[in-house]
Amino acid sequence: MGFLEKAANEFGKKTGKALGNKLYGANADDRRVGINRGSSLEAQQAEAAVKMRQMEYEKNQKMLDEVLNVEFDPTNKDGIIRGLTTLSSYIDLWIKSGDCKEHLDAALSKYDSGLALLSTIDPSNPMNAYFLQKKTERIQKKKKNTVFIAIGVVAFIIIWILLLTGAIG
């Protein structure tokens, strides 16, 4: 294959690609288009990630506003129970998600206030036991997680010391 044949083949390829780009535009099968599409795809993904973070932030702000708007009227036991139920669901959600520590603290504080008020107004209400049990479960779960972390750290330190002293390996 001589130089002229290679040049003619290359000319044919480039002409065909140019014609395809002209006819099909963004749908043309050209590496340049694919690369351009890839970079715009990355830009779209980055934009989508920013929008997701913004939506998450707005959702958390809306939930915080709802938490802050929960009012406990001492004359309305049903309203207190409804408020505690709402707060309990938000607290569980924020604990599972692991973020918005400030929001969680605000909800826990409001929950404790509502629980104390309900216990004072109607100590025999069966919902007192339910809400107190939910609070106790959260505390026990937090202690359990803390114990697991402490055990893991101690085990890591022991293994690290044994590796340094040459007892293992």
Residue range 12-33, pLDDT digits in tens: 888 877 777 777 765 665 454 4
Decide if 76 is inside a domain: no
Decide if 29 is inside a domain: yes
* Number of domains observed in the structure of the chain: 1
Decide if 1 is inside a domain: no
Please report the pLDDT score of residue 1 as a whole number: 58
Decide if 153 is inside a domain: no
Residue 64 has pLDDT above 70, yes or no: yes
pLDDT band at 151 (very low <50, low <70, confident <90, very high): very high
Please report the pLDDT score of residue 94 as a whole number: 79
- Which residues span the domain enclosing 22? 17-57
Decide if 103 is inside a domain: no
Decide if 85 is inside a domain: no
Cα separation, 166 vs 151, whole angstroms: 22
Q: How far is CA 159 from CA 36, 45, 72, 145, in A?
A: 51, 42, 52, 21
Decide if 30 is inside a domain: yes
Decide if 156 is inside a domain: no
Residue 38 has pLDDT above 60, yes or no: no
Please report the pLDDT score of residue 34 as a whole number: 47
Backbone angles phi, psi at 123, to 5 degrees: -65, -20
